[in-house]
Structure formats: structure tokens, C-alpha cells
Chains A and B, each alone.
Chain A
Amino acid sequence: MTEIFGVPIQSLMGQLMIGLVNGSFYAMLSLGLAVIFGMLNVVNFAHGAFYMMGAFFSWLLLKHFEVNYWWSLLLAPLGVATVGVVVEKTMLRWLYQLDHLYGLLLTFGLALIIEGFFRDQYGVSGQPYDLPDIFKGAFDLGFMMLPKYRAWVIVACLSVCLATWFVIERTRLGSYLRAGTENPKLVQAFGINVPLMVTLTYAFGVGLAGLAGVLAAPVYQVNPLMGSNIIIVVFAVVVIGGMGSILGAVVTGLALGLIEGLTKVFYPEASATVVFIIMAIVLLIRPAGLFGREK
């Protein structure tokens, strides 16, 4: 049996795989946060709650309407995005003139309310979401077994991140978004409906969180607390990558997932804190984040 530094290669690969799955979720969530922060200047503390909401929507759709996983992938994020539209139009909209802190406080409060609602309705014990049949089983890669669903999560998350990056960096719609991030007032004075763009950006960002929630439902259990568990790490990812950087969010998310996985193998005691240690070091050396631009 081959070993690396005394660790069997299979368990190393297994942890790396789990790290990559976690990293994919970090990437997708921090991508949404970065897009929202860029356009709205709001640190969306409700992001975790929307992720949890996505998972719950897909669980509820299955339970009450027998909507299968594939339809959930479409409908649950749309549902979450719709909630996002309402939140932006009725609440966030009034805060843009004020300090960043107010947006943060509002979304933090929202997160508590949304979480509390689901806790009240469904308790804190997780609800299992059954894997669709097609994802049962694993690929045998020779050196390790790769569960099919994990492979799908990684592929799906990376494709979504890549597509988002492409739209933002390479299309006309994306050029509106980039320009709007720099100087929204001027972009609006050129005849672009910036308020609508802001609403849709928020809806898209939280929709991404909802989609991540649907993808996560079969991996983790569907639990009202799943959002607050992951979101703290995701904020660390965003800080390390640099606020508002699309590419930074994705790369950092994946990398930190992998680093967490590796830490679990070599020094399990630190696996929960390694991300924050890295965050502290990055903040000391590059306060704007690895990919962020100094202002």
C-alpha cells in the first residue's frame, strides 16, 4: 500500500475529494457574495440563510409536490431569487445612501429571522434528502473510489462559476455590471436602468446561494443551521480572496476547501481553524486580499 508522509494514499485522496466538494460550495457562495458586494456595496450576511432556504425549498418540493431533483435545481434557486427581489426592493434599496454597516445589520437580522422561521417549522434535526438513483454508487478510479454525486457537485459548481465569470468578464451584460460596479450613477446617466440591474444582481447572487443549497441537500442534511455553519468560513474565503473579486472568490474557495481537507489528514485538530489562521496571515500581509485591489 502506497503512503505519503505515512498517510495511506486512499485516505489522502478521500479527504482531498471532500475538500474539493466543500471548496466548490465555498466558491459558489463567495462568488455570489462578491457579485453582490461589487454592485450593491452590501455585505450580504443573509447569504447563508438563502443557501439553507435553497436546500429547504428543494426538500419541500420533493416532499409535498414530488418535484424531482432536476426540477428543484431550477425551481428552488428561482424561488430564492424571488425572495431576493422582494428583499432588495422593499428593504435593501433604502440603505444604499447610508454606511455599509446598515446593509450588514439588515441582512444579519434577516438571516436570524429566516433561520428562526425554518427552525420553528422543522426543528433542528436534519432532514435527509435522498440521492437521485442516477447518482448512487461510485466510480472506481483505481487509486480511490469517487462517489458519483460528489463528482457531479464539483462539475456543476465549477461550471456555474465558470459561466458566471464568462458572463461578467466577456459579455455586454457583464460590461454593464463591471461599469456599474465602478460608477453606478454615471452608468445610469448613460441610459442604463441601474436600479433594475441592482435588483437582478442581488437576485442572481442569492439565487446562486439557493442553487448551492440544492446541490448540498443530498451531501449534508437539510438543516436550518446549515447556512450559519458554512457562512462564517465563506466570509473568511471572501476576505482572503479580496472583496468584490470574482476570480479571487472562486480560486480561493476551492483552494481553501483543499487546504481544509489536507489539514484533516495531517493535523486534524486544526482543520476547523486553518481557514481563519490563513485569513489572519493574509490580512497582515495583504489587507485587500490576495486578488483584491488596494483602494
Chain B
Amino acid sequence: MSAGWNAVSMPTPATDAALSISNLHAYYGESHILHGVSLEVAKGELITLLGRNGAGRTTTLKAILGLTGKRTGSIKINGTEAIGLASHKIARLGIGYCPEERGIFSSLSCEENLLLLPKVGAGLAANKGLSVDELYAMFPNLKERRTSQGTRLSGGEQQMLAMARILRTGADILLLDEITEGLAPVIVQTLGRVIRELKVKGFTIIMVEQNFRFAAPLADRHYVMEHGEIAAVVEKHELAAKTEMLHEFLGV
């Protein structure tokens, strides 16, 4: 096999994509929820999935992790095809997941919740997670409440905990589902600061967000979903020009 042949047939490496989804279909039992979703997120980018309730945003996050029923299409995570993998193996490719319902375990203390998640990501990446001390510095409340039962924490504290625990694991791709939902403005501000800090640190972030004012200044790109499809893509610099269209899609 000649070097020339090799050079021609080698696929061009995806441009540093952390997450590359193409033609993703997902089902819950018999119902077909996602109808060919495609999106690509480069390392270090922050994107949002916008849309009305039921548009398929949460399902997209769940489908990435293999938490839906049947899935077809392609999901490449840090270069590895994940469509056929079991959900724990997908997580180990370097994904941290913050579910909409926060998923704090009531039979675990705050600190046990924080320490529950195993290290993920390949090789050195797994050691890159933030230390418990760094996390307590970032979220001082959690330190005070560390022996409390997980679900005795306030909503804001639970949200901090749900964020903090995925930062410990070394995951470099964060899937954040409605992290500002139902929280006081001051806590939303704290979360905004944390997200900005994470972006500087090079995390790749996919946010499902209802609070457009929270998401707009943070995101590099917005994907608008409708009926389980990507209906529009809006780059950061197009925001001003396309505000009207966005409002129409989001029904605000």
C-alpha cells in the first residue's frame, strides 16, 4: 500500500471535535423522539440547545449517554464512536452529566454524593478533575453541609452539588440540563460565574437552557430544536440579527 493511497483515503480528522453527532434518531419504546439530529461541538466550545418543552433537548442529552431506548446514527465523543456503547462506557469517554432533576441521592450524604462518581476520561485526562478542596473553594456551602443527607440540601445547594460532582471526575465534556431552573437570581449568578470559569479552563459544555438571558452571553452557538430536529443554528455574532426568529421559535 503506497503512501500516496494512504494520504488520499485517510479521512480528514474531525476538526478537534469533542462531540460530533450526525443523523441521530432516538426512541422511547415505540415513540420516535429524535428525528436525525446533527451537531458538532469543538473542544472548549459552549453550545446551547434551545426550544420549547418537548422539542427534544433533554432527549438529545440522554441519547448521547445511552439513556433512551433504541438509538441510530452516529455519536462521536472525543473521536470514539459511542452509538453502540453501554451507558457507563460512554460516560468513561469523558462525559459529565447534570440531569434536569439534579439526581442527588437521598441515601447518600452531601460528601458521599460528591465522591460517588468514578474518574472518567482516558489516561491523564482522568487525573485532571478538580480536587475536593478546589470544589469546596468553588462552592463553600457544600463544605458546610457535607455531612447532611443529599436531599436535605436546598435546591440551590443540590444544583451546586450536581455540578461539583461532575467536575471531580476529569470529564471534559459537560452535559448540563436546565441548571438554572427554579433557582434564586443570586444562585443563577453564581452558576454563571462558574460556567465562565469552566469555559476558561477549557471544558466543552452543552447546555439545555430555558433561561435565554442566562445562556446568551455564555454560548458560542445556539441550536434551536423543534419536533426532535435542529430547526436553526445561530452563531453568537448572529444573535442580534436573529433575535426575532429566536423569539418566534421559543415562544417568548
Contact = CB atoms under 8 A, between A and B. Distances in A.
Interface residues of B, number: 24
A189 B91 contact: yes
Contact of A175 (B87, B99, B116, B120): B116
B86 A179 contact: no
A191 B117 CA distance: 7
A178 B108 contact: yes
Given A181-B107, A182-B105, A190 B117 contact: yes
Contacts of B97: 186, 189-190
Contacts of A175: 108, 112, 115-116
Nearest to B117: A190
B88 A183 contact: no
Nearest to A191: B91
Contacts of B99: 186
A98 B97 CA distance: 27
* Most B Cβ at <10 Å: residue of A189, A192, A195: A189
A194 B67 CA distance: 13
Contact of B118 (A178, A181, A183, A192): A192
B92 A191 contact: yes
B146 to A, nearest CB: 14
Interface string B105-141: 1111000100111101000000000000000000000
A186 B103 contact: yes
B116 A191 contact: no
A193 interface: yes
Contact of B67 (A178, A185, A191): A185
Given A175-B108, A179-B116, A191 B88 contact: yes
A176 interface: yes
Nearest to A183: B103
B169 interface: yes
Nearest to B62: A189
Interface in A225-248: none
A172 interface: yes
Interface string A185-224: 1111111111100000000000000000000000000000
B28 to A, nearest CB: 13
Contacts of B83: none
A169 B70 CA distance: 35
Given A182-B106, A182-B107, A191 B115 contact: no
Given A191-B117, A191-B118, A191-B120, A178 B86 contact: no
B121 to A, nearest CB: 9
21 contacts: A175-B112, A178-B105, A178-B107, A179-B116, A182-B107, A183-B103, A183-B105, A185-B67, A185-B87, A186-B99, A188-B86, A188-B87, A190-B88, A190-B169, A191-B88, A191-B92, A191-B120, A192-B88, A192-B118, A193-B88, A194-B88
Interface of A: 172, 175-176, 178-179, 181-183, 185-195
The 6 closest A-B pairs by CB, nearest first: A191-B91, A178-B107, A179-B105, A190-B117, A189-B65, A191-B120
Interface of B: 65-67, 86-88, 90-92, 97, 99, 103, 105-108, 112, 115-118, 120, 166, 169
Given A178-B105, A179-B107, A190-B117, 9 more contacts: A182-B106, A188-B87, A189-B66, A189-B90, A189-B91, A190-B88, A190-B91, A190-B169, A191-B92
